[in-house]
Amino acid sequence: MSAAKKHHKMAGKAMTGADMVIQVLVDEGVDTVFGYSGGAILPTYDAVFRWNRIHPDREVKLIVPANEQGAGFMAAGYSRASGKVGVSLVTSGPAATNSVTPIRDCMADSVPMVLICGQVARASIGTDAFQEAPVYSIMSSCAKHVFLVKNEDELEDTMRTAFHIARSGRPGPVVVDIPKDVQNWQGTFKGEGMLPLPGYQQRIDTLNAASVPKDKAREFFKMLKKAKRPLLYVGGGVILAEASDTLRKFMKKFQIPAVTTLTGIGAVDTTDVLAMHMLGMHGTAYANYAVDDCDMLICVGARFDDRVAGVPKRFAENAVIAHIDIDAAEVGKVKPVAWHHVADAGSALRDLLDYGKDVRPDHTPWLRHLAELKQKHRQDFNRAGEIIQPQAALEILNEITKGEAIITSGVGQHQMFCAQYLDFKHPRTWLTSGSMGTMGFGLPAAIGAQYAHPDKLVIDVDGDGSIRMNIGELETCTTYNLPVKILLLNNLGDGMVVQWQSLYFEGRFSGTDKSLHRKDFVKAAEADGFEFARRVTKYEDLRKALEEFVSFPGPAFLEVMTDKQAFVYPMVGPGTPYRDMLTGPYIESRQHGPREGTLDTSDSF
């Protein structure tokens, strides 16, 4: 709910609409806003300036990007790293349309964010006025909710309601479109109140009050007692619910190993013996084999998306499925389930822990089998090549950071290599565009994450194709002297697309060969003020360069030239089940049918 007090000290004071917007932001705990100014939002930008002059002890930091898309991803990175609602503040027209991608990205990954757009004056709406765009119509398909403030008396309530909707239930982005004349309007600040949302609030109240009934908990443990090979399937919902600690207690208590989705990485300490790491299209072979072998799959805060359950009928086909999710629409949408509970992941797991406090399962044979899978089918790559392998660079980085850094990424092969080869001991330390797969996410997200955690090491691992999308944000790092580290793994191509073209399009590299491009990324970084900007081409220089890169006190840029033929394996091809995944030349695959040392899935196990 709103952080505003019922007896607000500013209640009854005359304010402009723009001043009300900033007052509500401060009441909601906002300390950083990312955005780009323009005519239709100038009153609110002026309100930020005046607020900061009057309240230097409660300053709202205003971070100006190179592009409004960058502002949106900065707000998203701030939110993903902190758990707070990120805020982007932009003008009308092209600024709003530039913000569509980060809004859809936040919606797809359930990230709480509020985008405030300026709009032309109410009398001009619908006239194709200068820098007018139909924000409500455009954003309605992309956001959790959109407000167009036509009634100035509702501005204050609308702002509080936007934050409430963004953070409640299944989180998501909310857009508030504010005409310029509403920002200039003068009225009386109430200091409290939200718009009436009877249907929505009833659903939220039901979710907040939901607990696992005893008979339902009994049924869950009856299934667990019968299972010999239980497995947790953990998604980003666990991190969003701040339920990672509870999940880890649940794993330890009942000795249930876990696989995670791409956005669920960090919910489980990847160095834990029970961690089976990422599953799915580019998940580890042993994680996918574990899913094939399990007889009970407990899904918590995940949604059986196509990158995990590409062939739904063949996914975990030997298992009964239990599903915990805050969104009832996700239950049974892709896979039928034998047991489910709609609630916040943390509250559901706590209820089950409480009910099962006397349960002492013994899954020793199953855990032994999974340990063998992890050893036999471990991740590996070409360690004999002369050209630097991206996996090798990340292995060294991992030895330096020890799973403690906040890592953001662009989208592509480097993203998957990060998921496979880096450790994450804590939630909210792996920030990536999951469902939307948005290239250009990594750099601005790292900037947002650095503002959320100014004292932590933040590294953007990017690709040469992905970083180009928002390369203007290099200057944002130096403008604000942010110690963000950018590790560019450059393979002179759009590696993931090249991989697909190699495997499925007979090597026709249409539009993906960057070898003829003239971009000198090191010079670009230097031009934007990076004092540390280097390139590595040889293995013998790699470790030292990475150590100096990580320890540099300010913004740092390191380009590592990597092998264009270093593909991401495993890979579950389109329309194929896990058992047919491609493991490549360096990861051992298990053959179909009975084989020595495999799991006995009979009842005698």
Task: Write the CATH number for 253.
Answer: 3.40.50.1220
Q: Are residues 451 and 550 in the same domain?
A: yes
pLDDT in the model for residue 514? 76
Q: Please say which residue of 174, 207, 240 terminates a domain.
A: 207
Judged against a pLDDT cut of 90, whether residue 4 lies above it is answered with: no
Marked catalytic residue, from 28, 68, 132, 473: 68
Which of helix, strand or coil describes residue 407? Answer: strand
Q: Are residues 189 and 245 in the same domain?
A: no
pLDDT in the model for residue 598? 40
The string of pLDDT tens digits covering residues 442-451 is 999 999 999 9
Judged against a pLDDT cut of 80, whether residue 603 lies above it is answered with: no
The string of pLDDT tens digits covering residues 182-223 is 999 999 999 999 999 999 999 999 999 999 999 999 999 999
Mean per-residue pLDDT, 481-503: 95
Mean of per-residue pLDDT scores for the chain: 95
Marked catalytic residue, from 131, 201, 255, 565: 131
b vs e for 60-75, b when ≥16 Cβ sit within 10 Å of the residue's Cβ? Answer: bebbebbbbbbbbbbb
**Which percentage of the chain shows pLDDT scores above 90?**
94
Give the number of domains in the chain. Answer: 3
Q: Are residues 309 and 183 in the same domain?
A: no
Give a yes or no: residue 344 inside a domain. yes
Q: Are residues 137 and 237 in the same domain?
A: no
Judged against a pLDDT cut of 70, whether residue 113 lies above it is answered with: yes
Q: Are residues 193 and 224 in the same domain?
A: no
Q: How far apart are the first and last CA of the chain?
A: 50
Marked catalytic residue, from 84, 144, 180, 514: 180
Q: Are residues 495 and 401 in the same domain?
A: yes
Domain of residue 114, CATH code: 3.40.50.970
Long-range CB contacts (within 8 A, 24+) of 193-197: 193/156, 193/157, 193/160, 194/2, 194/157, 194/160, 194/161, 194/164, 195/154, 195/157, 195/158, 195/161, 197/161, 197/165
Mean per-residue pLDDT, 35-42: 98
CA angle 313, 318, 322 (to 5 degrees): 85
Q: Are residues 494 and 449 in the same domain?
A: yes
Mean per-residue pLDDT, 263-274: 98
Give a yes or no: residue 245 inside a domain. yes
Considering all CA atoms of the chain, what is the largest pairwise distance in Å, rounded to the nearest integer? 79
Give a yes or no: residue 575 inside a domain. no
DSSP 154: G
Categorize the per-residue pLDDT at 6 as very low, low, confident or very high, splitting at 50, 70 and 90. Answer: low
Residues 277, 265: Cα–Cα separation, whole Å: 8
| Residue 523 annotated among the catalytic residues of the structure | no
pLDDT in the model for residue 298? 98
Give a yes or no: residue 18 inside a domain. yes
Q: Are residues 448 and 557 in the same domain?
A: yes
The string of pLDDT tens digits covering residues 339-393 is 999 999 999 999 999 999 999 999 999 999 999 999 999 999 999 989 999 999 9
pLDDT in the model for residue 3? 46
Domain that holds residue 434: 390-561
Marked catalytic residue, from 49, 130, 505, 605: 130
Marked catalytic residue, from 223, 251, 496, 571: 496
Give a yes or no: residue 543 inside a domain. yes
| Residue 521 annotated among the catalytic residues of the structure | no
| Residue 201 annotated among the catalytic residues of the structure | no
pLDDT in the model for residue 209? 93
Give a yes or no: residue 37 inside a domain. yes
The string of pLDDT tens digits covering residues 147-161 is 999 999 999 999 999
Categorize the per-residue pLDDT at 1 as very low, low, confident or very high, splitting at 50, 70 and 90. Answer: very low
Q: Are residues 349 and 492 in the same domain?
A: no
Q: Are residues 238 and 301 in the same domain?
A: yes
pLDDT in the model for residue 513? 79
Secondary structure of 278-315 as H, E, C letters: ECCCCCCHHHHHHHHHCCEEEEECCCCCCCCCCCHHHC
Pair 301, 241: CB distance under 8 Å: yes
| Residue 176 token pair | 């508030």
pLDDT in the model for residue 599? 43
Give a yes or no: residue 605 inside a domain. no
b vs e for 168-199, b when ≥16 Cβ sit within 10 Å of the residue's Cβ? Answer: bbbbbbbbbbbbbbbbebebebbbbebeeeee
Q: What order of strands is seen across the sheet that includes strand 556-561?
A: 430-431, 406-409, 458-463, 485-490, 556-561, 532-536
Find all residues with CB under 8 Å of 253, minimum gap 6, and list them: 353, 356, 359
Q: Within a 13 Å sphere around the CA of 190, how many CA atoms are in the beta-carbon half? A: 12
Q: Are residues 502 and 526 in the same domain?
A: yes
| Residue 372 annotated among the catalytic residues of the structure | no
Give a yes or no: residue 488 inside a domain. yes
Mean per-residue pLDDT, 129-143: 97
| Residue 28 annotated among the catalytic residues of the structure | no
Q: Are residues 238 and 180 in the same domain?
A: no
Categorize the per-residue pLDDT at 7 as very low, low, confident or very high, splitting at 50, 70 and 90. Answer: confident
pTM (two decimals) = 0.95
